[in-house]
Amino acid sequence: MKKAAYLFSILLLAACSTVPLTGRKQVKFISDSELNAMAFQQYGEFLKTNPLSKNKRDTELVKKVGNKIQIAVDEYLASIGRSELTKGFEWEFNLVEDKSVNAWAMPGGKVVFYSGILPVCKNEDGIAVVMGHEIAHIIAGHGNERMSQGLITNVGIAALGEALKEKPEDTRNLFLAAVGTGANLGFLLPYSRTHEREADRIGLIIMTMAGYDPHEAPVFWERMTKMSKGKEPPEFLSTHPSSSSRIADLKLAIPEALKYKK
C-alpha cells in the first residue's frame, strides 16, 4: 500500500503542469505526442464520414478566424516561454455540413465547426467567441487532464501504460469522451465546471489578442440560452452549459481581456 502511494506521489509530481493565463495547477499523465497522434487519427476518421461544407464564404471565414487566433496564441506563448504547449500541432479548421448547433476541438489543433452553429454566431466576432473557447480547451490541456483522470479512475496507475497500449478501443472511447466528441461512458469527468470557466476566460483573452471584440461573448451565450428555452438544448449547449451566472462572469472578465488588446 505504501509503495503504491509512493509511486502515485512520484507520478503526480512528474505529471504536474500549469495552465497558461490562469496559473491553475493540473495533472497530465499522457504525453502530448501520444494524445496528438490519437487526435490526428480520430479527426481524419471523422472527416471521412462527415461532408465538408460547400459554402466557400463560410468555410473561408471559419478558417480565417481560426488562423488569426492561432497566430495570436503562438505569439503569446512564445512571449512567455511556453511554446512547447503547441509543439507538434497541425492546426486545422474545418466547417462540416451539418444542421447541429455544435463545434469542438481536439488536441493538436484540430477544430470542427458545424454549419448549424453559424446562424447563432451571426458574424465574425461570434465565430471568434466559439473558436476562442474551443482553442482555449486545447492550449489549457483539458483533454489530456480529463483523459488522465478517466484512465486512473477506470484502470488505476499501475495499469495506465497497459491500457494505452493493449486496450485501443477503450482508450479511443475515453479519448473521445475526454475531448467532448464521444458518448458519456458512465462516469462523470471531474473539473468540467472548472474547465468551462477556464475556457471562457482564456477564450475571451485570446480572441481579443486576435483583434476581436470580447463584448460579443456574453451576447453569443445569450443567444444560445434563448435557443434552449422550451425545447431540447443544442448539442453545443449541452456540452458547454450556459447560465445567467456564466454570462455575468464573461461580462466581468471583459476588462481583463481588453488589457491584451493590441
d(CA 211, CA 236): 24
Find cell 496528438 and name the residue: 36
Active site residue 256: no
Gyration radius of the chain's alpha carbons: 18
To 10 degrees, what angle do helices 168-178 and 32-49 make? Answer: 80
Find cell 453559424 and name the residue: 118
Query: What does the angle CA 195 – CA 124 – CA 63 come to, to the nearest 5 degrees?
Result: 80
Residue of 75, 97, 134, 198 marked active site:
134
d(CA 208, CA 52): 28
Instruction: Identify the bridge partners of residue 96 per DSSP, sorted by sequence position.
Output: 52, 114
* Residues marked as catalytic: 134
